[in-house]
Structure 1
Amino acid sequence: MFKKITEKFKGDRKYFSIVFFILIILGVSGIVTESVINRTKENWENILIDKISRIQESIKNDFESKQNDLVNKLNLVRQDLRKSLTPESESYKEIVKLINDEVFDNYSIEIFAPNGKLIAWNHIIAVEQDELFPLSFPLGEAYFLSKDLLNYLSIIDTTHLESDIFYIAISTPIEEKFRINNQYSKNISFQKELITKYQTDITVDYSPYTEKSKDGRRFSFELINSKENKIGMVSFQKPLLNNSINQLKETATKIQSLLVVIALLFVGFGLNTDFKKLDSYLFRLILLLVYLTALRALIFVFGFPSNFINGPLTDPSYFSSPFGWGIVKSPIEFFT
């Protein structure tokens, strides 16, 4: 019995069987999509709470990662300073050499003597000598330092040598206040990173005094440092039901489009034997051109593979052509 069934799927028949199953999957996917959309509408309140919670926790983790990197660099500076600041040392050359190591290229570091005098720094000075005291935040706590052009994530801490206390200020730029399009600007923006990652309107306020948004369409939460003290505020637009439904439909459409393209490919495989039996080379050429044109048209209509892959290969700013109504919209589509 099983052998009789398997024999029916031998040769080119197996390709048409695959096409048949793909068509079934297409029908089922439409039913499943509609069911998921209905459940989303019915349970939207719970789904919304979960979405907000996940975005909030993820943003907190993103910030915590930046904060941990800064703390790790601070510990590295402190560790090396204790080796450099020996009682026998008569100059601060080793300190300058230390903090100008390439590992600290993305950080501004200032070393202050026990009397508060700035004795060493690298790159651009973030914390000026007259800005050390009074302390903006307790020692060892991360905070946002606002300068004319940049907001920094900063920490001021101490290191002990014998009976002396040296102060260390380490900062990393987190937000450019003005976008400058030149070769020196790095366009640093934590806010833009979050907007790109979560595809929603996000605002980051780098002040511990910012209040939560009173707009009911937005959700706000505090950015806290490792000592559980508020240093800023994040607010973002709450996910909308219509947007979520559209995303579900878009995902379903992408899957169905991919299945249609795959089905057409297997149709070509299934007709391959009959195609080779044709005597007329001209007729074979015409059929091949019709098939390839239909396949390429489907790929163009469905936006494959640009709608399925993200990255430079699908970025039209690198390469695109208006030829054929924009049939080549990205570098990767040049080869499909």
Structure 2
Amino acid sequence: REKDEKIPLKYGVLGQETCGPGGIAYGMRSIGGVIEILDYMEKWSPDAWMLNYSNPAAIVAEACRVLRPNSKIINICDMPIDLMDKMAVMCGIKDRRELQYSYYGLNHYGWFTKIFDKDGNDLMPEIKRHMAKNGYLDGISHEPGQEQHIDESWIHTFGKAKDVYALDPDTIPNTYLKYYVFPDYVVETSNPEYTRANEVMDGREKRVFGACREVIEKGTAEGCGFEADAHATYIVDLACALAENTMERFLLIVPNDGAVSNFDPTAMVEVPCIVGKNGYEKICQGQVPQWQKGMLEQQVSVEKLVVQAWVEGSYQKLWQALSLSATVPSAKVAKLILDDLIEANKGYWPELH
């Protein structure tokens, strides 16, 4: 991950875990591992569902669609869930599960269009007031334990959502859109010697491993001070919905097939679904506006080209994917980054020709 983030920055391109060249590099490493686990599951537990958090989720989901179209895999992401936690705080609601919502996009690349409370009251005007003023910062809870995972880089990201929101104040954006619409800002505010990977290794990784050692030494997790966050609770809620047929609403990454009516039917879109014992049913989101449609068409093409490059071992397709990314300024820069990434990923990527 550190190399994913630092190699693009050498060429004035943002380095990020799941977006741009870094996300593409990560995707090329992840596809084979996820397919291997999926095949193992289907051999030994053919009735099981795989609940897949593997990043970059959009590329992994597209690879599963292409390579294992009939597999029982549900691809998910906790970022929109974390944002719903913050919107609930903005509106004085204790539990995001009370929110009803409409949302469309790709993973790490989407927009909320409607938010209601459990009584059907429209919460969008209140949320928009907060977004226009402070982005998602007003949604950060100050209760004990709730700030444990918020590093400085995330504070900047939640604040920058104000500017992303200004581009289309009819919707509420996913935070990751900042990397696609303000890539110059991200590069300007990045330290090429100390990226998010370093922040995680010096912070969260040490805290988590330290907490684990403490639990082992004490023989109990009681009093450890850690609380479950959206990432943890979301996958448990989803497992319960499948096991107990709760028919709850979840945001899942699924084949479009008309869920977004004016968009590629083969795209793996992130939309609300109703989940029960027999799987999921999509909730159609209608048409998306021209601006979002243009962005989505560009990004889904990047993701499809990455998967094609992995399947075919194609240097050309991967160069095209990098060149098409909104985070990369030219095909020349894309090639320089690609050649460095190939060198850094020997043994992890398929051999390209």
TM-score by length of 2: 0.24
Greater relative contact order (Cα < 8 A, sep 6+): 2
Structure of higher CA gyration radius: 1
